[in-house]
Structure 1
Amino acid sequence: MESLELIGPHFSRLSNGSLVDKVTPDMAHLIHPYWNKFEPVDSFMTKLLGTFLGTMACLSFVGNGLVVYIFSTTKSLRTPANLLILNLAFSDFCMMATNAPMMSINLFFGTWVLGPFMCDMYAMLGSAFGANSIWSMSMIALDRYEVIVKGVNGRPMTIKLAVIKIIMIWTMAMFWTITPMMGWSRYVPEGNLTSCGLDYLEQDWNPKSYLIFYTIFVYLLPLFVICYSYWFIISAVAAHEKAMREQAKKMNVKSLRSSEDNEKSAEGKLAKIALVTISLWFFAWTPYGILNFFGFFGSDVLTPTMTIWGAVFAKAGSSYNPIVYGISHPKYRIALKEKCPCCVCGETEDPNAKASDATSQATNNETPA
């Protein structure tokens, strides 16, 4: 029968060893007693985690690197609104560039071996780039809202406004990143102790108050902005399409599309692309938010495997955005085909240009398009 030893309020399995057995002496004071009761994570699982993380890191490096390169070197893509997309890609790239190598090293050793200082740096960088990504997406959603819902009455995006928004995003991210280093909560090893994050297991008011405000300003508030913006964006696009169909029916024609309507339709497609991107981000970061929620209320359902997968999926979210843009953004695909043809699959023609060419051809030949 397996023997147990009481350690504080928790038990440690002595027959098979404990998860904390590999912890280095300089990290011991940061380990919450909750993790004492768990056995070491199976080596196959750590290899699987490392493989998955490595794959996501490669996708992030290539994908976000290409987005930064294409958007910054293609004149037609250097618009004020695309500065926010550029900021998002840069943040996602840095997330994996700074976090993936450190986490991979610790997965190899089975515990955090880089010391307390690097634990803080790892968690700070992950928090900063994560907060930057979600607020960048929020600003992108607001910009789409101004263009599609408000139209001519909306506030146009300018380079100055885009730069101001980016500065605000970084300022907010750095505030919530630095405060744990100044005594409001702290960064500690989590899960199978191969990554570091916020101390969501400690039940003192100090870390709990930080977790409350962090959740509100870095997760719930931007999520509300995104949902609010896209609710009205989708409603506006749907209402426009319905009105066009009804008018066409009254006039007994198939379509009332004009160049202006094609442009509005293109805006609607871009809104859907951004909505997919944000949905992927939501699925990547919500599991981590749920882990914080369980830890906040002192739940015993958390396991090392569960928490570490939450951290991995949060980081893997930085790999999704360039894939979505690569598949769905026509101008980006055209520029990508010119600069890196091997990275493009399928059609890369601009739908509007294609329609214009077809119309011109029909006019010249005096035949229907």
Structure 2
Amino acid sequence: MSFNYSSIIDEQLSRDDPLFWNRPTPVNCNTIRIMGIFLCIAAFVGIIFNGTLFYSFIRYKGLRSPPNIFVMFIVGMGLFASCTILPLTGTSSIYCQWLYKRTGCQLSAIVAFLYGCSSSYLLCGASLSRCYIIIRPFQAKYITVNRCIVISCIAIFIAFIWTMLPVIGWNEYTMEGARTSCCINWYDRRTSYISFLFFLFIVVYCIPLIILIIANTITMFGLKQMRERIENGIQTVFNRKRIEMERCILKSIIITTSGFIFTWTPYAITFFVSAFQGKDYAIPPMATFFCACFAKTSVIWIPMLYAVTSTQFQLNFVNRDALDQSIGTKRIDATVFNAPILPQKNGEIMMMKPITENINDIQSIATKID
């Protein structure tokens, strides 16, 4: 079903005119109000979830493994988004009109765009780092926490550049059809506006999606081959724990990637189709509003999926004894190779028994991989 946006968009009003931002929603106010209440609840839940996860990353060093650094940045961005875009859109939807003028609209759209773009890039970074650790375990030492922090900062900076392009004139941030939220102008038929939407669809959605699918597919095949080698080799407690841990990792990969696709795909397809149909035959504003709201609630889905599927983080509590313990490189290497530790004392080598049965070493390996 198509919708003529010319009936609700007054092109005679300037963006500097306060009347442009104060007009009520042209769609059913009761439905919009219900969605506004839902968004306010989602904002509260997002603050609790992301705040708890972010505190856990800061508090417990054991959670700050290289792949988890990307998740930590996603959580930090999600906490900022939960404090801004969801309350702004939610309260405006309750009152059935935008309440925060042009400045609030710009801020809401910029934060939403920055979060969506940066989270897609950071998820790619997490998948690629995990893939490298699984496929090349003997070179995992090159995937360090500091390098992951640098890559995360670069990803957010690139997302910030894309976010600023509409501000400097390539497209613009304006009201969506329901007039209670803000986004990129996808109903304008000017060539520059359409070209930016095409660019956005490729670099923010398609390319990260392809990277996620390829990286996670390679990881799944790598885990399968590793499981076959372990099952055909010597059966030890460590090997059995390793297989169990790999199954948890595989489940986490599938659920996280599916969650990203499920959350952002409806909105990406909606604005992409609407952009090429134009304002005369665009998708109804209520449909785009629902898709946009669902995409914005990804601030709670991503941390929730991580908390449920991670082998290190428990949803209800954090095992402080496991996370506060130090992670020794010698113990990790000895466990991987099923070899004894040979510590030195006063220049003499002391022989010790193999530690493959030690559960603390298994937790150390889980910290490297998860």
Secondary structure of 2:312's counterpart equals helix
User: Which residue does 1:252 correspond to in 2?
Assistant: none
Secondary structure of 2:277's counterpart equals coil
- CA distance in 1 between counterparts of 2:224 and 2:146 reads 32
Q: 1:117 aligns with which of 103, 116, 133?
A: 103
TM-score by length of 1: 0.77
What 5-or-longer segments of structure 1 have no aligned partner? 1-8, 13-17, 249-254, 340-354, 358-369
Change (3 A) 1:213 1:154: farther
String of CA shifts for 1:133-163, please: whole Å, max 9, x gaps: 1111110000111011232245731122112
Q: 2:65 aligns with which of 73, 76, 79?
A: 79
Does 2:25 correspond to 1:46? no
- Superposed, 1:222-233 pairs within 5 Å as 222-233=208-219
User: Which residue does 2:307 correspond to in 1?
Assistant: 326
- CA distance in 1 between counterparts of 2:131 and 2:319 reads 31
C-alpha contact (below 8 Å) 1:70/1:335 kept by paired residues: no
Does 2:262 correspond to 1:276? no
User: Which residue does 1:65 correspond to in 2?
Assistant: 51
TM-score by length of 2: 0.77
- Superposed, 1:213-362 pairs within 5 Å as 213-245=199-231, 247=232, 256-260=235-239, 262-263=241-242, 265-298=244-277, 300-333=281-314, 336-337=317-318
User: Which residue does 2:17 correspond to in 1?
Assistant: 26
Amino acid at match of 1:328: T
Residue 66 of structure 1: CA displacement? 0.7
Change (3 A) 1:45 1:135: same
- Superposed, 1:114-193 pairs within 5 Å as 114-153=100-139, 156-193=142-179
What 5-or-longer segments of structure 2 have no aligned partner? 321-356, 360-370
- CA distance in 2 between counterparts of 1:337 and 1:112 reads 41
Query: Would you tell me which structure has more helix in proportion to its own residues?
Result: 1
User: Which residue does 1:363 correspond to in 2?
Assistant: none
Please report the RMSD computed on the Cα atoms of aligned residues, expressed in angstroms.
3.0
Residue 257 of structure 1: CA displacement? 4.6
Q: Relative CO higher for 1 or 2, CA cutoff 8 Å, sep ≥ 6?
A: 2
C-alpha contact (below 8 Å) 1:70/1:336 kept by paired residues: no
C-alpha contact (below 8 Å) 1:19/1:192 kept by paired residues: no
Secondary structure of 1:136's counterpart equals helix
String of CA shifts for 1:278-329, please: whole Å, max 9, x gaps: 2112111111101121122116251121011111001111101222233222
Question: Identity of aligned pairs, percent?
Answer: 22
Aligned length, in residue pairs: 316
